[in-house]
Structure 1
Amino acid sequence: MIDLNSQAFRDKVYGCWLGKNCGGTLGAPLERGYGEPEPFDVWWYPELKEGGIPNDDLEMQLIWLKALEEVGPRLKASDLVQYWLDHIGYNWDEYGLNKTNLRLGLLPPVSGGYNNWFKDSMGCPIRSEIWACIAPGQPRIAAKYAYEDAIVDHAGGESIYGELFNVAIESAAFVISDPEQLLDIGLSYVPPTSQTAKAILAARQAHREGLTWQAARKRVLEATPHFNAQYSPINMGFQVIGWLYGEDFGDAICKAVNCGYDTDCTGATLGSYLGIIEGQGRLPQKWTEPLGQDISTNESWGGLFHASDGVNPVPANLVDLTDRVIVQAKRVLTAHGILNGESILEIDPATLYADESIQALWTAKSTQIDYEYPGLTVSVDYVNTPAVEPEEEKALRIVLTNVHPEPLQLHYRLFTPSGWELSRQTEAAIIQAHSTVAVDLLVKVPEARLVENTNRLYLDVVLEGRPAVPATPIVLIGASRYFVSECIPADGRSDQELFDEVFAPEQITSDAALLLEQGRPGTWSDLYTLENELTLKEHFSQSGVLYVRTFFWNPDAEQQVWLGAPANCPTKFWVNNQLALSSFRYPLVRPNYNGNQETYTKVDLRAGWNEIFFKFVRNAEARQFEGYIILCQADHLYAGLYRVGRTQVPWEQNNKR
């Protein structure tokens, strides 16, 4: 039973956020981009400041609270999109890639799955507490809100399972305190064959076998190996290690953090688990008093913006946060029919476990966007990707759902940009009551000069005898265009010799040749890439040198940008024939926006056309080639430059001068 008006409930909500702040502050100074082979040995805050260390784990949920207050209990992923763009300034990993997708015109879940190397990372499992606190003892409801949150920036990845696992445990922890039972509940929200489940079970089994926490850490890494410190399954396992092996609150969050990897996230989430279970009053003052009640955020430098201004500023302290969350809990549970003018919740333990509605989320399409209009739902399925190559036929599936008790007669037509064609233009259909009709469309993509970064199509559906519904947007992303040289074989030369030698493609005769099709010597073949990744495995399967050429159209005045070529081999690149970067390394690859200066650098883009020229070198022992081209702003926020054209070339320009 939960009494939403009780001090006990308030104490648990406050404890959730206080525990999260403690764990996040403990782990924040130790966070790395790459996993460390050995654990840390930290047993107190490495750094202390009033209000704790600002952390996206907590502060993003202040924005989600604001969204819930302003939108209401029907809050969906499409609503959260606006709050991402209005209030989230930083562009770390999946945050930045997702926001570029949103600015290109995509909506969730496609925004979270397309072109997102980090969709298995920790960005959404760390945002679960708000949904648990507004649906205490109702993990199925909490999980559905968490899913809407997750798919904005993580669709199709393990991260969704991490957020479902966390939110289920946190919601159930308002009525259950036994870790083993809570783990059973959490695991029911995760596909048994997922990497997330494997990591959690590895930690749990190690504990049952009586192994040390350090040995349990090795088990998790063996079960789900990955070099990315933000890889979600590993961090889920580390949370469980801290929980099961912790002798008290401080020992637990320290052991989770000492496992390494995404240390602020594991510490913060475990802190919130324990804060809900114990409540504020039972958390040790040794850990809580140094932080106080204030909430530190990253708003001062732009990590958040428009958070503390306007008519509805976010909470500035834990007291206000707790009070406002409780208000929303009553509002949400009333809207879901759980509360009927009362403050008491009677909880059936069987309802804490996942049901078929939760399991359906595991297989929900990450390529389909649903548009719900009065009287009609239009679902646009991009089938595999929203990206297109020139002169291909792009398959789309449109699912029309009639929510009425009477049949609907309708006509539909797809409007395309100039030069684009559709195999069928106008069709009619009758949809029976409470039924669906699936329509397969084939869009003929034109030649490259007519393909932009963003290409907007509109599906117009006319319902006979019914009010008009809006046209449904269909956004197709143009593939980036490259030119690839023939591979120059090593022929006995070392990779360093190949790196230093100036081969024919580098020997350009003049700057005037930069923008010409034959401007660089050699034989070149076209390459179109649907994402940031350079798909060169077939071109670069042997040791030697490969050159890649591309062109950026800068629609603005000359600007300085942050350009990266994170690849797992030695790399050079030139911008307008000026050497910009030279890196002789075989690194691990994390293709985010704010990458390190070994594979990224500031460069100047001219207004109009710019030639970007790359050299990659591999030795015989190198791993299979992996490389990406990353472009973003050069300031401290690193926002993706979605307006810089990457689909065309200067000699086939379409109204570009």
Structure 2
Amino acid sequence: MELTGSALLGKIYGGLMGKNIGGSLGTPYERGFGQDDLIEVKLEHRLYPNDDFEVQMAWLRLIEDRGLNISEHDLAQCWLDCIHYNWDEYGFSKRNLRLGILPPMSGFFNNWFRHCMGSPIRSEVWAMIAPGLPDVAATYAFMDAIVDHGGGESVYGEVFNAVLESMAFVSSDLKRLIEYALNYIPESSMTHKTITIALRAHEEGLNLKEARRLIIESAPPEYRRIAQYSPINLGFEVLGLLYSNGFEDAMVKTISLGYDTDCTAATVGAILGIMYGRDYIPPDYAKVYEEVVTNESWGGVSNIRASRTVSELANRIIKITYRLLSSQGGRVFIDRNGNVDWLIDPFTVKPSGPWLNYKPNSWTLRFTGLEATVEYPNGPVLKPGVELPIVVTIKNLRLNPLNLSYIVHGVNPKAYQVNPVNGGLIAQPGLETRVEFRVRLIDLDELGAVEHPVIQFTATDSPESVNVTLTILPPVVWFINRVDESDEDVERWINDALAGDWGVIYRDGYDLGLEDLISKGQSMALVGFIHNPGDTRIIHVGVPNNAPYVKLWFNGEPLLESKEKYILRPNYDGDGRNYIDALMRHGWNTVAIKIKRVDEPVSAHFIMSESGKQLHRGLTDVTQHRKPKLTA
């Protein structure tokens, strides 16, 4: 199986050009909520910046600077240094990273959007540096996806796309490519299900509208109308490929399906461009979309070393491609002219990888001689009356046993205890040894916004000594009480909560967890006390919900009132009706929420972020686990 150097470059160029075209054509039709039916599409030839492209340029710079052996931790650092958007999962995962929660848990904890499209859209760079090496492309894609989608369907979406695109360098048999890539993701996943529905619908001769309906109806109700829900979009992506005839028809049909149109059209364009190369792109398209534009000017991204043309970007990528292919001596041969010969049929590579069996509530640190995995079976939040288990697993990479001692440093003794505080273990070569630590709360008022005790492991007879930093968070505390439908005496609510007359609930994050607390026909009030150690400033607050009635007060002032059900979409930016700016004072602030249930259980979140000037970045210094002391 051979490919000339010029053909390889042509496929990289075609994929990038298809990506740029599809992203631009789909942008005018992108929505936050999915459309009810197929949409009419009139292609507008205008170039738009797209995070699908920008993030991958950041990844390319990372590999250029640090080499091929990057990890999920390198990618996490790149997120904080280069990508400043806080849309949906981007913002939630970056807040976790700033708190010290590492991948994959950074994408898992307190992240409602871990099943959405942020990662499947950035698979091309991994396929392009690993053409015909599906397992390698999939491994990079997995490391990428878990940073902001750990434990989510989107991990499978990016792995699927990366495998399909990697194999598109060596085959143009579309059905074979789709079926092969499906082998890389669990059959039990929603992503596998929607792609399979798309394949069967096409085989059975269903029209595009009917195939679309089947995919949407297969999704969980809470995500069915979320335009960025990745399993629906992966199904649409496959429909766009199967039901089209030619590049432009593929763009029109993919966009007509609606939902995350810039992303699906961009991926379809990339796949077709890789499969058929540079000459498949219509010449009039290539003229318009040769330029690459970004959102650097207003601060959406920075430090990404952006290429200004598709040709320039393709030439940068192929240099990395040859470096990676050269490292695969037993699988690939490259002659002096840059022609590539795959010595092993890529379709014989058996799917395997960490994405098939990993723990999203953990992270792994790699040191010389050993690895340490930190696992939070119940999450990182320390609550009254419940010990918090943290499991540290040491894997010895040495050829001889390691006799290790450990001691816990940096504990806040007024707030909590960690047991055991010290001890020892013998780690056998190549094996894992597990130590469970239990954290017990002493005084919630003494707990900081984030606690970082450190476990130091030291070998008694060799130079190995490593520090494993833990992350412990306080709960979000709400004082709750059932109230009459007409009761809006917020001042009394606050005083009663301060006096201890209301019930108390402890939450891990933004989700209020009200589904089982409010009965049919009842209203409930919630009061929270927010402490801001920083300056007085404008913040963005929201109560995204699906309830028939919600009202929000901040520092006693009514700010929001919603009188009809809406689709739940709890992000930082807003959903169009349940968010507003508020003045957060230095020191103590109060929030009060009233929620009514009529029939179906209600869901609601309370979310705070920085103002729009700060791109709605998630807050890490503000806490809601204490209350002011009553004064005489």
Interval of TM-score (by shorter of Structure 1 and Structure 2): over 0.9
Deviates more, 1:600-609 or 1:185-194: 185-194
Instruction: Give the structure 2 partner of residue 464 of structure 1.
Output: 460
Instruction: Give the structure 1 partner of residue 577 of structure 2.
Output: 598
- What is the alpha-carbon distance in structure 2 between the residues aligned to residue 485 and residue 127 of structure 1? 46
Instruction: Give the structure 1 partner of residue 291 of structure 2.
Output: 294
Of the three residues 566, 591, 594, the one matched with 1:587 is 566
Q: 1:54: Cα distance to partner?
A: 0.7
**8 A Cα contact 2:376 2:389, kept in partner:** yes
Q: 1:163: Cα distance to partner?
A: 0.5
Give the partner amino acid of 2:236. Answer: F
SS in 1 for 2:43: coil
- What is the alpha-carbon distance in structure 1 between the residues aligned to residue 138 and residue 384 of structure 2? 40
Q: 1:224: Cα distance to partner?
A: 2.5
Matched, 1:180 2:158: no
Q: 1:82: Cα distance to partner?
A: 1.2
Deviates more, 1:590-599 or 1:522-531: 522-531
1:243-269 deviation digits (Å, cap 9, x = unpaired) = 111011110121111101110010000
- What is the alpha-carbon distance in structure 2 between the residues aligned to residue 288 and residue 518 of structure 1? 64
1:359-390 deviation digits (Å, cap 9, x = unpaired) = x4222111121111111111111123122213
Give the partner amino acid of 1:300. Answer: S
**8 A Cα contact 2:396 2:432, kept in partner:** yes
Matched, 1:195 2:190: yes
Of the three residues 362, 379, 393, the one matched with 1:399 is 393
**8 A Cα contact 2:184 2:352, kept in partner:** no
Deviates more, 1:211-220 or 1:403-412: 211-220
Instruction: Give the structure 2 partner of residue 321 of structure 1.
Output: 313
Equivalenced residue count is: 621
Instruction: Give the structure 2 partner of residue 492 of structure 1.
Output: none
Q: 1:136: Cα distance to partner?
A: 0.5
Instruction: Give the structure 1 partner of residue 487 of structure 2.
Output: 502
1:296-332 deviation digits (Å, cap 9, x = unpaired) = 111111111233xxxxx22121111111101111222
- What is the alpha-carbon distance in structure 2 between the residues aligned to residue 518 and residue 21 of structure 1? 54
Of the three residues 413, 418, 421, the one matched with 1:418 is 413
TM score, norm. by length of structure 1: 0.91
Give the partner amino acid of 2:618. Answer: G
Deviates more, 1:269-278 or 1:543-552: 543-552
Give the partner amino acid of 2:373. Answer: S
Q: How does 1:369-380 map to 2 (within 5 A)?
A: 369-380=363-374
Instruction: Give the structure 2 partner of residue 268 of structure 1.
Output: 266
Matched, 1:572 2:551: yes
Of the three residues 224, 228, 231, the one matched with 2:229 is 231
SS in 2 for 1:23: helix
**8 A Cα contact 2:516 2:601, kept in partner:** no
**8 A Cα contact 1:185 1:354, kept in partner:** no
Give the partner amino acid of 2:59. Answer: W
Instruction: Give the structure 1 partner of residue 22 of structure 2.
Output: 23
Q: 1:348: Cα distance to partner?
A: 5.7
Q: 1:352: Cα distance to partner?
A: 3.4
Q: How does 1:58-457 map to 2 (within 5 A)?
A: 58-224=53-219, 226-291=224-289, 293-307=290-304, 313-337=305-329, 338=331, 342=335, 343-347=338-342, 350-352=345-347, 355=350, 357-358=352-353, 360-415=354-409, 416-419=411-414, 420-457=416-453
**8 A Cα contact 1:185 1:353, kept in partner:** no
- What is the alpha-carbon distance in structure 2 between the residues aligned to residue 528 and residue 265 of structure 1? 37
Q: 1:470: Cα distance to partner?
A: 3.0
SS in 2 for 1:470: strand
**8 A Cα contact 1:487 1:540, kept in partner:** no
Check 1:71–1:30 CA distance in 2 against 1; reply closer, same or farther (3 A cut): same
- What is the alpha-carbon distance in structure 1 between the residues aligned to residue 200 and residue 391 of structure 2? 44
Check 1:354–1:614 CA distance in 2 against 1; reply closer, same or farther (3 A cut): farther
SS in 1 for 2:342: coil
**8 A Cα contact 2:402 2:427, kept in partner:** yes
- What is the alpha-carbon distance in structure 1 between the residues aligned to residue 299 and residue 148 of structure 2? 20
- What is the alpha-carbon distance in structure 2 between the residues aligned to residue 566 and residue 184 of structure 1? 39
SS in 2 for 1:455: coil
Instruction: Give the structure 2 partner of residue 44 of structure 1.
Output: 43
- What is the alpha-carbon distance in structure 1 between the residues aligned to residue 327 and residue 601 of structure 2? 53
1:569-615 deviation digits (Å, cap 9, x = unpaired) = 22111111111112212111100000134111010011101011111
- What is the alpha-carbon distance in structure 2 between the residues aligned to residue 556 and residue 22 of structure 1? 45
Aligned alpha-carbon RMSD (Å): 2.0
Instruction: Give the structure 2 partner of residue 491 of structure 1.
Output: none
Q: 1:104: Cα distance to partner?
A: 1.0
- What is the alpha-carbon distance in structure 2 between the residues aligned to residue 268 and residue 479 of structure 1? 40
Instruction: Give the structure 2 partner of residue 13 of structure 1.
Output: 12
Q: How does 1:461-500 map to 2 (within 5 A)?
A: 461-488=457-484, 498=485
Instruction: Give the structure 2 partner of residue 546 of structure 1.
Output: 524
1:203-247 deviation digits (Å, cap 9, x = unpaired) = 111111112112211121122351111111110111111111101
Instruction: Give the structure 2 partner of residue 559 of structure 1.
Output: 537
Give the partner amino acid of 1:565. Answer: V
Give the partner amino acid of 2:401. Answer: P
TM score, norm. by length of structure 2: 0.95
Instruction: Give the structure 1 partner of residue 611 of structure 2.
Output: 634
Check 1:354–1:576 CA distance in 2 against 1; reply closer, same or farther (3 A cut): farther
Instruction: Give the structure 2 partner of residue 310 of structure 1.
Output: none
**8 A Cα contact 1:410 1:430, kept in partner:** yes
Check 1:20–1:356 CA distance in 2 against 1; reply closer, same or farther (3 A cut): closer
SS in 1 for 2:559: strand
Q: 1:558: Cα distance to partner?
A: 0.8
Give the partner amino acid of 2:341. Answer: E
SS in 1 for 2:531: strand
Q: 1:444: Cα distance to partner?
A: 1.1
